[in-house]
């Protein structure tokens, strides 16, 4: 397990945390954020939505079940850096192929352990997400602070271009096939949907997680994935039964090409968006987004559906949100809110077959409360196509 004598996490406000380094021997800058998930560090690290972010985990010990080959959400870790209270000295799981430090080292990502992550989390929650520098190299605390302050930040920067696919492809041709249904003592935990008539959709890759495509595939969709800048007329030329807008990193206002493309699809095909896709829909409708103080990141975010009264526990990872009043003026109906801060968590268009949520319904990692959203999308597409929804 790779380990260095010292490491530093420095924040733009001058705060410095010194601990033990692991992973890559490297210096990185990015936005310091925290995630409240108790498990799922492998899925979190490989989520492209975390591009350019240095993640602090609030769970005390991380790395105890190592790294496996099944739970990755992209072609490799996308986070800038990783901060934990204690890196587990023991890796124990039958699926594990290597320890966390080795994995990060192989992928050029530095980590720091042995610092007060509770203090870091409280600071970010009170003062907001900050520019940060994480180094496992021999630089001074003052230099680390200077590097944090000199980083450009997220606002106005297009990070989607760093994580989107380079060209269209059919899901399954280039990526891992869906895993066999997960079972416990012989019981299939996934509903058998193999008798559904298949629907063909186009999925915009703004930094999508593989579990999203696996879930869409399981729920009855054949998927053609296209890059973030794919024009609307080329999507419509494929005659899709629907369009999916994925998650992704960064500032949604910095993606005018995505706003324009989605605007060209409104009223012409059913659309389902999640996370960044939800925010891009917001801009396509003519509304705005704003940066949250410290964001929503974790597998325990409570969301209330205003139309049904149902409260779901959701998995989330975003630092921006949609404006309520502007959405309503733009013809959208706010369907869900976050019970912690009452920000918008879901919408549907009043006139067109379009809906979106701010969270991650594929639950990787996280609870499965939002899984029925994939059925809702299938029903919307099936109704538009005129086929049975059973």
- The active-site residue out of 12, 43, 275, 349 is 275
In sequence order, what are the residues at sequence separation of 6 or more whose Cβ sits closer than 8 angstroms to the Cβ of residue 162? Answer: 51, 249
Options 218, 283, 349, 360, the catalytic residue: 360
- Residue 227 corresponds to which tokens in the numbers above? 């890059």
Cα 49 to Cα 21: distance, rounded to the nearest angstrom: 24
Fill in the DSSP letter of residue 171: T
Write out the two tokens for 207: 């930094």
Examine the residue annotation and report whether 360 is marked as an active-site residue of this protein: yes
Catalytic entry in 31, 43, 345, 362: 362
Interatomic CA distance for residues 43 and 238, integer angstroms: 32
CB-based contact 77:103 (threshold 8 Å): yes
DSSP 198: P
Q: Phi and psi at residue 175, in whole multiples of 5°?
A: -120, 165
Residue 362 designated active-site: yes
CA angle 188, 191, 194 (to 5 degrees): 110
Q: How far apart are the first and last CA of the chain?
A: 51
Torsion of CA 42, 48, 49, 53, to 10 degrees: 80
Whether the CB-CB separation of 109 and 77 falls below 8 Å is answered with yes
Q: How many beta carbons lie within 10 A of that of residue 231, not counting itself? A: 13
Calculate the CA 242 to chain-centre distance: 22
| Annotation says 133 is catalytic | no
Alpha-carbon separation of residue 314 from 55, 281, 298, 358, 370 (angstroms): 19, 20, 8, 10, 7
Q: Which secondary-structure segment (H or E) carries 256?
A: helix 256-263
Q: Mind telling me the catalytic residues?
A: 275, 360, 362
């Amino acid at each position: 397990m790779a380990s260095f004598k010292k490491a530093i996490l420095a924040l733009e406000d001058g705060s410095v945390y010194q601990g033990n380094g692991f992973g890559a021997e490297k210096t990185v800058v990015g936005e310091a954020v925290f995630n409240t998930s108790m498990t799922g560090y492998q899925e979190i690290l490989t989520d492209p939505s975390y591009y350019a972010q240095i993640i602090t985990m609030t769970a005390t010990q991380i790395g105890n079940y190592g790294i496996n080959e099944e739970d990755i959400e992209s072609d490799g870790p996308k986070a800038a850096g990783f901060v934990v209270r204690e890196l587990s000295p023991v890796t124990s799981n039958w699926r594990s192929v290597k320890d966390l430090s080795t994995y990060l080292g192989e992928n050029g990502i530095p980590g720091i352990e042995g610092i007060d992550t509770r203090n870091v989390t409280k600071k970010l929650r009170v003062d907001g997400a900050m520019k940060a520098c994480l180094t496992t190299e021999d630089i001074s605390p003052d230099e680390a602070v200077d590097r944090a302050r000199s980083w450009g930040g997220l606002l106005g920067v297009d990070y989607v271009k760093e994580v989107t696919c380079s060209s269209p492809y059919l899901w399954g041709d280039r990526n891992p096939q869906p895993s066999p249904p997960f079972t416990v003592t012989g019981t299939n935990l996934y509903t058998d949907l193999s008798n559904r008539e298949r629907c063909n959709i186009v999925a915009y890759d703004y930094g999508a997680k593989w579990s999203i495509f696996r879930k869409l595939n399981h729920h009855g969709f054949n998927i053609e994935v296209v890059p973030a800048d794919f024009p609307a007329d080329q999507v419509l030329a494929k005659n899709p039964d629907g369009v999916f807008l994925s998650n992704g990193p960064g500032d949604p206002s910095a993606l005018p090409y995505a706003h324009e493309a989605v605007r060209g699809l409104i009223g012409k095909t059913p659309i389902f968006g999640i996370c960044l896709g939800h925010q891009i829909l917001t801009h396509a409708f003519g509304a705005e987004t704003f940066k949250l103080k410290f964001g929503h990141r974790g597998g325990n975010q409570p969301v209330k559906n205003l139309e049904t009264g149902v409260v779901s526990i959701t998995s989330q990872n975003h630092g921006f949100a949609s404006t309520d009043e502007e959405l309503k003026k733009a013809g959208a109906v706010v369907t869900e809110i976050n019970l912690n801060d009452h920000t918008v968590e879901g919408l549907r268009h009043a006139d067109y077959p379009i809906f979106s949520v701010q969270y991650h319904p594929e639950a990787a990692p996280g609870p499965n409360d939002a899984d029925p959203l994939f059925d809702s999308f299938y029903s919307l597409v099936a109704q538009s196509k005129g086929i049975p929804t059973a």
